[in-house]
Amino acid sequence: MIGLEVHVQLSTDSKLFCSCPTRGSDAEPNTRVCEICLGMPGSKPVLNKKAVDFALKVALALNCELNNEFFFSRKTYFYPDLAKDFQITQYEVPVGKNGFAEVGGKKIRLRRIHLEEDPASLVHESGARQSAYSLVDYNRSGIPLIELVTEPDMQSPAEARRFLDTLLTTLNYLGVYAHGESVLKADCNLSIDGGSRVEVKNVTGFRAVEAALGAEEKRQRSLVDSGKKIEMETRGFDEATGTTYTLRKKETEEDYGFIVDPDLPKVVVDSKWLSLIKAGMPELADSKKKRFMKEFGLSEYDASVLASDKGLAEVFEDAAKADAKIAARLVSRELAGILNYNRVKLGETKVNGKAISELVLLVKGSKVSDKNAKESLIKYVLEGISPKESLEKNNLLIDVSSLDLEGIVKEIVKENPGAFSEYKSGNEKSLNFIIGLVMRKTKGKANPKQVQDILDRLK
Ligand code: ADP
Ligand code: ZN
Ligand code: MG
């Protein structure tokens, strides 16, 4: 059984309780700070409404019941990353509760979604476990996070990874998660065969979550196999060795002594605010997938590939105006495959719907061979040259009027009489052989169907 507590950074411009900026990669440590996010005596937090808007959207998108009134509490503990000795979070009443995410047809239940501030970051020169000292950077202190707590509904590390993929897709659709700059952190809970639950704390990134869960499962299985009992504890994950290690054995919620934060008023989400949030909700991946199937007659596979990435879906819908079937094939099979193979994200390329539309039209008008169309897409992804431009530049567009296809086919038939007579007697392989020769001669500009038509006329 696996349950996750996931923290994601919301993409607001300013921090959760002060107006310090959340971004600026060139900023030196401890420059994006003020008396509030440094927790100085007498400073008073002021809630960032945008962060609440974002959290409400996430809660709605993940099918949660919303609390129309909620408040913030102080979670007290001592650590150098926490200047005021308490973290402002939500405990008693979260923004949303009892939601779910659908992952591969299965419902992963969400217990709660709440808002909290990020602590500072501790910087270690030579790895957290080796370093003799910690440096503290408070730039991150006070950055808005949402925490999502799932029920223990996942049954393998791979399923946990798929849950996170689904979650990220939703966050990207909502535009509340700035890709690349913000990291996802998770506390990963795992138990086997009804044994005690072990929590692997603070695992950063998707791949690491899957790896940490895999390592912890292996550790617990080998303990159980040798007749030992699993102790309930909190562990850390060492990415370098791919193993988990003991952090602490006993710690309960009560130890944090939660108290309501008296500096922050309670938040009341009235019906006017809520209807504004609802009106601003975009079409999400699942309904987009269903619409693509209905509106464009796509297969479930193509529709879910396209809908799983907001950018890909936009490119497709643009190109579908030229021809939905061809656009679906070029975007969900070819383009998605090329991105995947080269490990690049759509947002990192120059790919846009207009250029893909141009390519769709070329394919539709039989002005380019499938092979050259695909190669122009690869060039587009890797070098940013639009397919039409690179096909034109390399003289790979089929100009039906100037290409003497009939003459070329006749010539090849003359040079290969054996293959032609085999074709006449019904040999499919020799057809492919002849088409191959025509393709080579025309640099792939010929339409195979037309070549076959000509051959049939020559029979
Ligand atoms: P506690 O209240 O003791 O902190 P919770 O029941 O609130 O523990 O669960 C915290 C996290 O641990 C949740 O994400 C939950 O899904 C997960 N979890 C709870 N029980 C188990 C279990 N037996 N195996 C794996 N994960 C679990
Ligand atoms: Zn600040
Ligand atoms: Mg927490």
What would the pLDDT profile of 258-309 be if each residue is shown by its tens digit? 999 999 999 999 999 999 999 999 999 999 999 999 999 999 999 999 999 9
Token look-up 């070819």 returns 334
The CA 5 to ligand 1 mean position distance, Å, reads 9
Q: Cα dist. 397→144, 147, 393 in Å?
A: 52, 53, 9
CB under 8 Å to 363, separation ≥6 — which residues? 323, 326, 330, 370, 373
Q: What is the pLDDT of residues 327-351, one digit of tens each?
A: 999 999 999 999 999 999 898 999 9
Q: Residue 199: nearest ligand to its CA?
A: 1
CB under 8 Å to 279, separation ≥6 — which residues? none
Q: Cα dist. 204→11, 182, 184, 185, 238 in Å?
A: 18, 11, 6, 4, 11
Q: How far apart are CA 405 and CA 412, in angstroms?
A: 11
The CA 34 to ligand 2 mean position distance, Å, reads 4
Q: Identify residues whose C-beta is under 5 A from ligand 2, the ion.
A: 18, 20, 34, 36-37
Cβ of 191 closer than 6 Å to ligand 1, yes or no, is yes
pLDDT value of position 136: 95
Q: What is the pLDDT of residues 6-25, one digit of tens each?
A: 999 999 999 999 999 998 76
The CA 87 to ligand 1 mean position distance, Å, reads 21
Q: Cα dist. 269→48, 145, 230, 302 in Å?
A: 14, 19, 44, 39
Q: Residue 213: nearest ligand to its CA?
A: 1
Q: How far apart are CA 29 and CA 407, in angstroms?
A: 72
Q: What is the mean pLDDT of residues 118-143?
A: 88
The CA 203 to ligand 3 mean position distance, Å, reads 13
Cβ of 315 closer than 6 Å to ligand 1, yes or no, is no
pLDDT value of position 363: 92
Query: Ligand 1, atom 5: nearest CA belongs to which residue?
Result: 151
Cβ of 213 closer than 6 Å to ligand 1, yes or no, is no
User: From the alpha carbon of 199, which atom of ligand 1 is closest?
Assistant: 12
Ligand 1 pocket check: which of 113, 164, 189 to mutate, most ligand atoms within 8 Å of Cβ?
Answer: 189
